[in-house]
Each structure stands twice: as structure tokens, then as C-alpha cells.
Amino acid sequence: DGGITQSPKYLFRKEGQNVTLSCEQNLNHDAMYWYRQDPGQGLRLIYYSQIVNDFQKGDIAEGYSVSREKKESFPLTVTSAQKNPTAFYLCASSNRDFSYNEQFFGPGTRLTVL
Amino acid sequence: DAKTTQPPSMDCAEGRAANLPCNHSTISGNEYVYWYRQIHSQGPQYIIHGLKNNETNEMASLIITEDRKSSTLILPHATLRDTAVYYCIVRVQETSGSRLTFGEGTQLTVNP
């Protein structure tokens, strides 16, 4: 099945630790995205990548880092500099075949920092 | 991007049509209207989009007013599984990557 996988579904970390969230897609999509969602809120864009080895900051990039070494993978690192990292993190991808505005989302990772 | 306004919540009886409104009075001529939905604790799912003509697919219908300042997403026969937050987004067609802005959307609750 084609799709986007995020792992793990739930993640717990101690304050001050960096943590990396995984996102893999087998849709052959060029563009990939990371969003953050807080309870009762909409999604906010953290980073996005339009092509391998290139990425741009979204609206709330501070305290996060990404890499895009392979087309299929776009891992997100939540660093200790992120002041309030507990949230629901969503990865998405899109391609010109449908429209870059038709983004396919993964199931999300719920990160809790204790 | 044009700003959108949606009611925070709506209710619908199972089997009836659900009509979700969206205002986008500052929409530009080259901006499309997109609809997504997010079932609790899952990733959002694309539903439908349109420019100025009404659109229909297997999930829903999209009605855009002639002046394009508002639109309505119609779920013709709502089921309990349609309970979700529905997001209306206005965006130009992108040639590479897209910065979608998801607001708070409309929480649709379908009641038995």
C-alpha cells in the first residue's frame, strides 16, 4: 500500500532531551511537510521540503530541525530549545501529479515531554 | 492567501445532508477553495477543491457562489463516521510545494 508512515504513534521524553520523529513516504512525492497541532487548534507549519537536500522554514521553525537526504524520508528533530514541545506532530507529502495543495497526511506522532 | 471564516461547530442528524459554510470574501481570481477534514487524533484528509464551478466527487459536493466570496461543502447523507473537524482553505495553485494554512475549522458532529 502506498502512503505515509510516522513512528512511533506515541513518544515520551524527558525535558532537555532531543528527540527525532520519523516520516517515510512511498508515494514518490517531491514535497514533504511537518506540522504541529495543539489541542483544539488548527495545524501550524514547522518546515517543508520541495526537493531532496533542500528545505524551508515554516511559521514555527524555532527549536526544530529537519533533513531531507532521501526523497522518501523527512525526519524532524525536536531540540531542547523548543520551549513547549508537547504536541501532536503530523507529516504530509504532495506532488504535482494531483496538485501540491492536495497533501497526504500520515497518522501523526503524539509527543509528550515530561 | 485569502482569510477564511467558518462556524466553530455544527450538528447534523445521521442520514441528512450536512452543509458546511465558508466565507472567503477577499479571495483572488487565481485562488482555489480546498476542503480537508480531520477525524479525531488522525491526520487531515483531502476532500475536494474548486475554482469557480461546482464540483462533486465520491465524498462531497462543493458549491461556490458566483462572486466566489463564499462556498458550501455538502455531505449528502451524513454518517456517524463523518464526525470530524472540517477545514476550508483558500490557496493559489502551486508549482512546487505548498504552504497550506489550516485554521480552527468547523467541528461537525453527526448525531444518531
The model's confidence at residue B94, banded by pLDDT at 50, 70 and 90, is confident
Q: Name the grid cell of B86.
A: 472540517
Question: Is the CB of residue A70 less than 8 Å from the CB of residue A55?
Answer: no
Give the closest of A4, A42, A106 to B102, CB-based. Answer: A42
**B2 compared with A51, residue with greater pLDDT:** A51
Give the closest of A42, A88, A101 to B32, CB-based. Answer: A101
The model's confidence at residue A1, banded by pLDDT at 50, 70 and 90, is low
Within 8 A by CB and 6+ apart from A68, the residues are A32, A49, A51, A52, A53, A54, A55, A74
Dihedral of CA atoms B42, B48, B49, B53 in degrees, nearest 10, equals: -160
Q: CA–CA distance from A114 to each of B17, B40, B42, B83 (Å)?
A: 44, 23, 23, 32
Residue A76's pLDDT is 97
Beta bridge partners of B86: B37, B106
Q: Each residue of B45-65: pLDDT tens digit?
A: 999 999 998 999 999 999 999
Rounded-to-integer distance, Cα B7 and Cα B19, Å: 11
Q: Does the beta-carbon distance from A103 to B46 stay under 8 Å?
A: yes
pLDDT at position B99 over 90: no
Q: Each residue of A52-100: pLDDT tens digit?
A: 999 999 999 999 999 999 999 999 999 988 889 999 999 999 987 777 7
Q: Name the grid cell of A112.
A: 509528550
Q: Does the beta-carbon distance from A30 to B102 stay under 8 Å?
A: no
